[in-house]
Structure 1
Amino acid sequence: MRLLIATDAWRPQINGVVRSLEYMASEAPRFGAEVAFLTPERFRSIPMPTYPEIRLSLVRPGALAEILEEIRPTHVHVATEGPIGLATRLACLRQGRAFTTSYHTRFPEYVAARTGIPEAWSYGALRRFHRAARAMMVSTPSLERELTGRGFRNIMRWTRGVDTALFRPRGERILDASAPIFLYVGRVAIEKNLEAFLSLDLPGTKVVAGDGPSRAELERRYPDVRFLGSLTGEDLARVYASSDVFVFPSLTDTFGIVLIEALASGLPIAAFPVTGPLDVIGSSGCGVLGPDLRKAALEALDIPKDRCRAYGETFTWHESARQFFSNIEKAHSRA
C-alpha cells in the first residue's frame, strides 16, 4: 500500500490530529504500508480569521492532479475538511479515484461558537464532504451513533493510542505549586469550555498547559491559575506526572488524546458525561463524570493512580494503526 494522507492540520500545530497521523506513519511499515503526506508545507497560506495560529493553505486547482501523478498512491486518505482536504477530494472525484476520510473535529460547534452560523448548516456541508468517500472513520462508539443520527453513512471505527514509555508516573514533581494540582492540557480557546474549569472553587492549584487565542484574556481574568504555555514531549510528560487530577471541561471533543495521556501518567479524570470522556473512561473506574465538575474533580482525588496507569496502558498506537490501515484496505475493496 502506498498511502497519501492529505491533511490541513500539521506541524507546528500541536493537537490530536497531528499526533495521530504522525504515529500512523511511524507504524506503517509494520502493516506493509508506505505513507506520504500532503500538508500545508507544500503551499502558501494565510492565517485563519479569529484563529491565526491555524493557517489556511492556498491550493492551486491543478496542483492536486500534479501531486497525485507525482506520488502515484494506491490509496488516498483525506484527514481534514480544510482547503487541502477539499482540493484532494475534488481531484479524486475528477479522476474516479477512491478515497477515505476521517472525522476528527466538531467544526459545526466550533463555527457556531465563533460566528453564530447555525450548526445545521455546517453539518449539511460536512455530510456532503464525507458522502463521497468509501468510508469515514470516527474515534468512538458514541460519536458514531451521533453522526449516524445526523445522516452520515459508511462509518468505520478508528481508536487512538498513547506513548506509554513517555507518558508514565514519575517519582519527581516539577511543579512548584500547592497540592492538589488540577491540570488541563489542550488548546486555550472558546470551544474548549475552559472557564468551566478555571472558575471552580478548588483547593490547591489549577494549571493549564497549552496556548490559543483565549489565553491572554483568561490569564487576566484568572490570575491564580498557572498558565504554562505550549509543552510537548518530555516537558509535557513531566507536568502530567506532577499533577493529581486531570480536568477536561470540553463538551465538543470527539475523543481527547490528552485523556489517555493523563491516564497513562497515572492521573484520574474529571469531566462532563459527553462524547469522548464517556467512551474513554467507560466503566474503568478511572474517572468521575458528572454535570458538577467541581464535585467530579474532588472525588477523582480518591482514585488510585496505579489503576489509571494500568488502564492507560491498554490504549496502544499499534492497535490504532492496525484499525486504520485495515479500514483503508476494506474500504478500498468495496465495489
Structure 2
Amino acid sequence: MTAQLALDDAGLRRLLHGLPPVDQVGADARAARLGTRSIKTTAKAEALDLAVRMVDLTTLEGADTPGKVRALCAKGAHPEPDQPECPSVAAICVYGDMVATAKAALAGTGIKVASVATAFPSGRAPLAVKLADTAAAVEAGADEIDMVIDRGAFLSGRYGAVAEEIAAVKQACRTGGHDAHLKVILETGELATYDNVKRASWLAMLSGADFIKTSTGKVSPAATLPVTLLMLESVRDFRAQTGRQVGVKPAGGIRTAKDAIKYLVTVNETAGPDWLSPDWFRFGASSLLNDLLLQRRKLATGVYSGPDYVTVD
C-alpha cells in the first residue's frame, strides 16, 4: 500500500475532504458549453472512427448465451463486414462465466475481453467472494476487470475499507501471473454529490485503479457529461501530482454518435489529447456502436441507411 492508503479513515478523510470543492454550477455550465461544439466533416469522420475504437461492446443480461456472445464478438471485430477499413472495437464486456467463450471467439483479433466482477452490479458480497469472482474471470482469460466499489462503505466514510478492497482486487487481477487492467466503477448516480464523485475518483486512483468508470449501467442516472468532466479533471490532476496516468470510462446511457462526439470534445478540452486513445478512454455501451456505424455510412454515401442496416444486439 502507498503511504496514503496506510492512513486510517480519519487520515483518508482529511486527504479526500482536503481536495478543492467542486463548483457544481460551473461544472454543469462548462459541460454544457463543450456539448455545443461542432466539428467539420473530415474531423467528424476521424472522430467517429476513434469512437468506434473506444467502445467496450457490452452485454450484461441474465439471458446471455454463448451464441449471443459469439455474435457480439463477431460484430465487434468486423462492425461493417463490407468495409474492412472500419476499425474494430476496444473490448467485449461480459459476465465472468462468458469470458472463455469471448476469449475463444476473439482469438487473433487484438480485441480485449473485459469482465465485470466483485458481485456486479450491487457489490454486496464478502471480500472473499469478490476476490474469487475476480480471480475466476482472470483465470478464464479476462484482460480487464470492471469492479464496483462498496458505495455503502464510501458514503458512510469508511474510506479505508474501500481503499483496501480496491487494492485487494487489483492484486487478484494478477492471478496466475496475469496482469489484467482494473476499471473501478464508482456508480456516480448513487454518490449524490459532485464532491463525492471527485473524492471517489481520487480514492480509486490512489488504490491502484487503471481506469475509473462512471456506472454499471444498471442505475439511473448513469454516465453524464458533467460527471465525466469531473473525472477527467481528476485523472489530469492526479497525473500532474503523481506521474501516473489513469483512464476514464463513461458507461450507460450513451447511445448516439452526437453524444459520443461531445464526450471526445470534453476529453480533449479537459484532460488533453493524451487521453484520446482507447488505452485511456472508453465508452461502455451496447447500442452506441449501431449509431456510430449509421453515421459513418451517412458521411460516406450522403444518405441515411434504414435501421435494418445494423444488427440489433
> Counting helix residues as a fraction of each chain, which structure ranks higher?
2
TM-score when normalising by structure 1: 0.32
Is the radius of gyration larger for structure 1 or structure 2? 1
Query: Which structure features the higher share of strand residues?
Result: 1
TM-score, structure 2 length as denominator?
0.34
Report which structure shows greater RCO (CA 8 Å, sep ≥6).
2
